Amino acid sequence: MTRKSPEAGRDGTTITSFFNEEEELLPGLALRFTRIPAEPPACLALLDLAVLTERMAAQQAGQSPSSLLSPEEQTRYAEYPYSKRQCEWLGGRLTCKFAVLHLAVPPVPITMSALSVLPAPNGAPILSCPSLPAWSLPAVSISHSGRYAVAMAAHAGACGIDLQKTTGQTVRVADRFSEPAEVMLLQEGLPTLDESQRLTLLWAAKEALKKGLLHDQPVVFRGVTLQSLTSARNPVLRLRYPGDFGRPAEIAAMALDDYFLAYTMDTLHA
């Protein structure tokens, strides 16, 4: 059963106000999600990894969250020796497949275990389903930070999502992913945010772009620069990147509690 939060609406202030719908996947395990009514359409989903960890520890016969993995995913899942990494990997797959199934009604009935989300050699998540042609499947992207896993499914040529918990670490490593001109743009455009928030936002935006369009780029963020941004509550960042043919990518971003969420879609090849 799907439930909407009382404060439904994507105002970009809290987790529950953006991911404003909730649905139980298994008893005691619910995911939150939101649909983006853009063109092309997209669905974003979120899972609390702390709740998943509790559910994994209290699993009942036939009710294990890992039972929702495909056989191929089960094999990969068993290779992780540490429970924390298992939880993150499982959470990413469940969240991704949930987003896929809530993006649109499949042409034939599909269960979660019929979908596979496995990494390509470059690490990008690849969605497959034996009963559906590859061309009909949406683009997907996965991220996790802190206690949450998030995923995106979109009928686009590619998509990228990233979630980052705000920390002072971004300030300490700022020279690795930002330029002085970018920092100045952020200061001028987002004066109400502090330095760690602005840099976390920039990192999330560049990560979302890399996941969506630059998975094969060998060096993190090489040539990716902030060109401009809207000075709105939920800013849109325009990033230049290698091979953009003069059309910067647009990255939607927002603060959700003490996290920043960023996502983008390749609409040219939808």
Residue 70, burial from CB neighbour count under 10 angstroms (0-12, 13-18, 19+): buried
Closest CA to 92 of 60, 124, 122, 64: 124
Question: Is the pLDDT assigned to residue 161 strictly greater than 90?
Answer: yes
Residue 132 near residue 182, CB atoms below 8 Å: no
The model's pTM is: 0.92
Mean pLDDT score, 175-184: 94
Question: Is the pLDDT assigned to residue 138 strictly greater than 70?
Answer: yes
Question: Is the pLDDT assigned to residue 6 strictly greater than 50?
Answer: no
What pLDDT was estimated at residue 244?
Answer: 85
- pLDDT single digits (tens) 215-270: 776 666 778 999 999 977 789 999 999 888 889 999 999 999 999 999 999 875 54
Closest CA to 161 of 177, 176, 149: 149
Mean pLDDT score, 143-160: 96
What pLDDT was estimated at residue 37?
Answer: 84
Please state which CATH number belongs to domain 2-155: 3.90.470.20
What pLDDT was estimated at residue 165?
Answer: 96
The pLDDT mean for the chain works out to 90
Classify domain 165-265 at the CATH class level: alpha beta
Distance CA 135, CA 215 (A): 20
Residue 118 near residue 73, CB atoms below 8 Å: yes
Q: Which residue has the higher pLDDT, 147 or 3?
A: 147
Strands 21-26 and 125-128: unpaired
Q: Which residue has the higher pLDDT, 200 or 104?
A: 200
Q: Tell me the pLDDT band of 81, cut-offs 50, 70 and 90.
A: confident
Distance CA 250, CA 196 (A): 22
Mean pLDDT score, 66-72: 95
Mean pLDDT score, 22-41: 92
What pLDDT was estimated at residue 222?
Answer: 76
Both tokens of 41, joined, read 């359409």
> Where along the chain do its domains lie?
2-155, 165-265
Distance CA 158, CA 265 (A): 6
Common-topology check for domains 2-155 and 165-265: yes
Question: Is the pLDDT assigned to residue 107 strictly greater than 80?
Answer: no
Question: Is the pLDDT assigned to residue 186 strictly greater than 60?
Answer: yes
